[in-house]
């Protein structure tokens, strides 16, 4: 990697044996590592699995991005045009592999970081990792991902359900459910797409349990992607966006009230601010209208082989797939540092640090309506700039110092 200026050369000297550690080899971690190296700062990506892009590898086969190829690329490398406008899961994984290779990123796989602490003198960060390792770094970027730990609600009677109950993270394809009566729980994009996949893939009956009526958007309208509107909408207040979004929904989408999905009572942007993104329609509306997906009330409990719904109805699906989201899983890692909110998310993210944790950054822990990959790409250079500003003055290479590719330093 070329170092572009005397300032960047000095930054490299400052982090030669005390690198900036990036925890997580997904899009956010890789993009931030590239942005740091572009400033001459040594960045070491620590990935707990054997490959980059682990969370994307685990998604269901049907998955395609709802964001356009151009608006989903990470800094420094475009996504190939051959991958199409809506990039498939496997193509995105190939892109992430190529990204790490193209930028010659320093990625160490098979290393899971369990805890992050300040060093005794407060000058560095100490990462306690698998195998008893302790790594010392000048700064830390946590990029372990929004979808880290599958969340399966503790439904009364759930452990005694005589059918099959799995989290959506274990769903890959419809084949194992062919000929079955299946209930999908959760009305986000994952739940909607799995329901469509099952309906098209041979399940005899597919029901979708909905607690709060979701907003639904066309992926494109006359060729114009909904993401382009979302990029603009994110900068505007809900009282401007929500009435316009409601009007557009009435003009472009059929009324599904007769099928159990009335128009939402709350605004689209207001809901998105609470973390509930709209369903991007990739066949969902058509399947609901055709009766291939039946909308039912939310799940309240289980009773033997039955599922009890919020409206009192009892149904007996053979399989239940819970598209009930994920937890961030940050508490064991950094919860003791006072940097997390009550819901387990970072108090600050991007280029900002918590007041009592200078040099500790987070990326990828919001779920923006404008597209996760787009915002990760925008966050990366901002974080890199903040990290570079926060490094101490160049002190020259330490004894035994070398190039940016040397092995991480361990504490003690």
Q: What is the DSSP letter of 40?
A: T
| CB environment 394-408: b (16+ within 10 A), e (fewer) | eeeeeeeeeebeeeb
What percent of the chain clears pLDDT 90, i.e. is strictly above it?
Answer: 82
Please give the backbone phi and psi of residue 130, each rounded to the nearest 5 degrees, phi first: -60, 150
Cα angle 22-28-30, degrees, rounded to a multiple of 5: 60
Q: Beta-strand (E) ranges in 17-91?
A: 20-23, 43-47
pLDDT-wise least confident of 2-11, 143-152, 266-275, 279-288? 2-11
pLDDT confidence of residue 407: 41
Determine the 3-state secondary structure of 320 from DSSP: strand
DSSP state letters, 111-129? --EEEEEE-TTSSSEEEEE
Which of 288, 306, 322 terminates a domain? The answer is: 322
C-alpha 299/C-alpha 195 separation (Å) is: 16
pLDDT higher than threshold 70 for residue 323: yes
Specify whether 144 is located in the same domain as 156: no
pLDDT higher than threshold 70 for residue 404: no
pLDDT higher than threshold 90 for residue 26: yes
Specify whether 105 is located in the same domain as 162: no
Specify whether 166 is located in the same domain as 276: yes
Cβ partners under 8 Å of residue 67, min gap 6:
225, 227, 371, 372, 373, 374
pLDDT digits (tens, 9 = 90+) for 174-207: 999 999 999 999 999 999 999 999 999 999 999 9
Specify whether 316 is located in the same domain as 358: no
Q: Is residue 399 part of a domain?
A: no
The boundaries of the domain holding residue 316 are: 151-322
pLDDT higher than threshold 90 for residue 366: no
| Residue 82: CATH number of its domain | 3.50.50.60
pLDDT confidence of residue 16: 63
Specify whether 32 is located in the same domain as 127: yes
pLDDT digits (tens, 9 = 90+) for 241-253: 999 999 999 999 9
Count of structural domains, the chain: 2
pLDDT digits (tens, 9 = 90+) for 80-119: 999 999 999 999 999 999 999 999 999 999 999 999 999 9
Specify whether 283 is located in the same domain as 309: yes
Cβ neighbour number for residue 309 with a 10 Å cutoff: 18
Please name which of 144, 108, 154, 153 lies closest in space to residue 331, comparing C-alpha atoms. Answer: 144
Cβ neighbour number for residue 290 with a 10 Å cutoff: 10
Specify whether 142 is located in the same domain as 11: yes
Largest CA distance in the chain: 74
pLDDT confidence of residue 203: 98
Specify whether 136 is located in the same domain as 283: no
Specify whether 160 is located in the same domain as 309: yes
Determine the 3-state secondary structure of 312 from DSSP: coil
Which of 322, 356, 372 terminates a domain? The answer is: 322
**What are the distances in angstroms from CA 114 to CA 46, 47, 126, 211, 243?**
12, 12, 11, 35, 46
pLDDT higher than threshold 50 for residue 17: yes
With left for phi above 0 and alpha for psi between -120 and 50, is residue 76 left, alpha or beta?
left
Specify whether 167 is located in the same domain as 102: no
């Amino acid at each position: 990697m070329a170092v572009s200026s005397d300032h960047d050369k000095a930054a490299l000297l400052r982090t030669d044996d005390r690198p900036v550690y990036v925890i997580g080899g997904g899009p956010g971690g890789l993009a931030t590592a590239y942005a740091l190296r572009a400033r001459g700062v040594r960045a070491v990506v620590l990935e707990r699995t054997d490959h980059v892009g682990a969370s994307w590898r685990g998604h269901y086969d049907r998955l395609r991005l709802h964001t356009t190829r151009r608006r989903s690329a990470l800094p420094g490398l475009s996504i190939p045009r051959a991958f199409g406008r809506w990039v498939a899961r496997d193509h995105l994984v190939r892109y992430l592999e190529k990204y790490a290779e193209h930028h010659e990123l320093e990625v160490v796989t098979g290393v899971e970081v369990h805890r992050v602490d300040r060093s005794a003198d407060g000058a560095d960060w100490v990462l306690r990792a698998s195998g008893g390792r302790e790594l010392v770094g000048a700064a830390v970027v946590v990029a372990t991902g929004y979808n880290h730990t599958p969340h399966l609600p503790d439904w009364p009677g759930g452990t005694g359900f005589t059918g099959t109950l799995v989290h959506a993270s274990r769903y890959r394809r419809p084949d194992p459910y062919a000929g079955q009566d299946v209930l999908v729980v959760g009305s986000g994009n994952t739940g909607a797409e799995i329901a469509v996949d099952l309906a098209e893939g041979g399940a005899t009956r597919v029901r979708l349990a909905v607690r709060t009526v979701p907003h639904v958007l066309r992926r494109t309208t006359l060729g114009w992607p909904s993401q382009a509107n979302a990029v603009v909408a994110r900068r505007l207040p809900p009282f401007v966006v929500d009435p316009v979004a409601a009007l557009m929904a009435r003009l472009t989408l059929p009324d599904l009230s007769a099928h159990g999905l009335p128009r939402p009572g709350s605004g689209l942007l207001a809901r998105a601010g609470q973390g509930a993104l709209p369903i991007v329609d990739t066949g969902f509306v058509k399947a609901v209208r055709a009766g291939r997906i039946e909308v039912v009330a939310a799940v309240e409990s289980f009773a033997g082989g039955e599922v009890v719904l919020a409206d009192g109805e009892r149904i007996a699906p053979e399989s239940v797939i819970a598209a009930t989201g994920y937890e961030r899983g940050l508490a064991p890692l950094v919860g003791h540092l006072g940097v997390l909110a009550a819901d387990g998310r970072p108090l600050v993210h991007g280029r900002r640090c918590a007041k009592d944790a200078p040099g500790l950054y987070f990326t990828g822990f919001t779920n923006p309506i404008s597209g996760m990959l787009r915002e990760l790409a925008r966050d990366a250079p901002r974080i890199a700039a903040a990290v570079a500003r926060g490094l101490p003055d160049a002190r020259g290479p330490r004894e035994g110092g070398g190039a940016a590719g040397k092995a991480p330093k361990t504490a003690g």
